[in-house]
Amino acid sequence: MFHSPRIYATLLLWLLSELFEQMPEAGDLDKPKLVFFFDEAHLLFNDAPQALLQKIEQVVRLIRSKGVGVYFVSQNPLDIPDVVLGQLGNRVQHALRAFTPRDQKAVKSAADTFRTNPKINVASAITELGVGEALVSFLDEKGIPTPVERTFICPPSGRIGPATDAERSGTIKTSNIFGFYEKAVDRESAYEILKNRAEQSASEAKAEEGFSWGGVFGGGNGNKKSSSTSRSDGVLEAAAKSAARAIGSQLGRQIVRGVLGSLLGGRK
């Protein structure tokens, strides 16, 4: 993320685009099927071209109809471009400290983007929030942003130690995906297929070798030449395959380096 922010942004866009293309229309759900939280969001948008920002804005706006929620997490609301920020209806704002002119601008910007509440001075409240406090504004059942409220955020609960069998069973049975993953599926892997082929080839080669020596001991010399030729061909074939793999691997690495270099503006 930190060293290749363009790859991060490209991965985000690809992921959301794939979800938008593959998932069916879900309509207006009570809660989304899937939620993404993208931390360090400023890395997504630093030096991002305008075309990329427009595409992210479009995907974020449309993917809600698929039942997917997207949240951008950042330390400063100025890190999110206005075109993207305008598509985000739910807001959770923790404390901001206004020590510099940029910080003061961020406080004013964050305060102005909330739906006003006569009971709260948002600009002052942002700088006064303590640990666990936040200003929140969510969409109501009609999709309208609610007035901003100052509230405490409930921390996640947990405990030290594993869950009991009964707790685990109850959690599984109440899950939304219960019934999909209970059946174990052990498909034949590529490794197993190749291993079986290699064992079969070795068995055939051993059988041919035994037949060849049987011919020799029987007094015939025709099979000895055939066996020698077969072994020679096998060695040559193995060497050719090994060279092809090496060339393909090297060529593949060069192509990948070239493609990534052109995308990221690095050395060719």
Domain assignment present for 170: no
- Whether residue 69 is found in the same domain as residue 200: no
pLDDT for 37-94, tens place per residue?
888 887 777 777 777 777 777 887 788 788 888 888 888 777 887 777 777 778 888 8
Tell me the CB-side half-sphere exposure of residue 73, using CA atoms within 13 A.
6
SS3 track for 31-49: CCCEEEEECCCHHHHCCCC
Where is mean pLDDT largest: 2-6, 34-38, 231-235?
34-38
Domain count, the chain: 2
Q: What is the DSSP letter of 63?
A: G
Residue at 182: amino acid letter:
E
Query: DSSP secondary structure string, 110-152?
Result: HHHHSPP-TT--HHHHHHH--TTEEEEE-B-TTSPBPPPEEEE
Q: How would residue 27 be classed by pLDDT, with cut points 50, 70 and 90?
A: confident
- Whether residue 37 is found in the same domain as residue 92: yes
Residue at 26: amino acid letter:
A
Query: DSSP secondary structure string, 162-204?
Result: PPPHHHHHHHHHTSTTTTTS-S---PPPHHHHHHHHHHHHHHH
Domain assignment present for 231: yes
Answer whether 75's CB lies under 8 Å from 110's CB.
no
Instruction: Look at residue 156 and tell me whether its pLDDT is greater than 60.
Output: yes
Instruction: Look at residue 95 and tell me whether its pLDDT is greater than 90.
Output: no
B/e letters for 9-38, b = 16+ CB within 10 Å, e = fewer, are: beebeeebeebbeeeeeeeeeeeeeeeeeb
CATH number at residue 125: 3.40.50.300
Query: Which residues, at least 6 apart from 261, have a Cβ–Cβ distance to it below 8 Å?
Result: 267, 268
Mean pLDDT of 120-146: 85
Q: Which residue has the higher pLDDT, 161 or 28?
A: 161
Instruction: Look at residue 1 and tell me whether its pLDDT is greater than 80.
Output: no
pLDDT for 165-196, tens place per residue?
999 899 888 888 888 887 888 888 888 999 99
pLDDT for position 155: 78
Instruction: Look at residue 225 and tell me whether its pLDDT is greater than 50.
Output: no
- C-alpha 38/C-alpha 44 separation (Å) is 9
pLDDT for position 112: 80
Domain assignment present for 253: yes
- Whether residue 131 is found in the same domain as residue 9: yes
Mean pLDDT of 249-254: 54
Q: What is the DSSP letter of 86?
A: T
Please give the mean pLDDT across all residues of the chain. 76
- Whether residue 17 is found in the same domain as residue 93: yes
Answer whether 35's CB lies under 8 Å from 68's CB.
yes
pLDDT for position 251: 52
Q: Residue 23's domain spans which residues?
A: 5-154
Q: pTM surpassing 0.85?
A: no
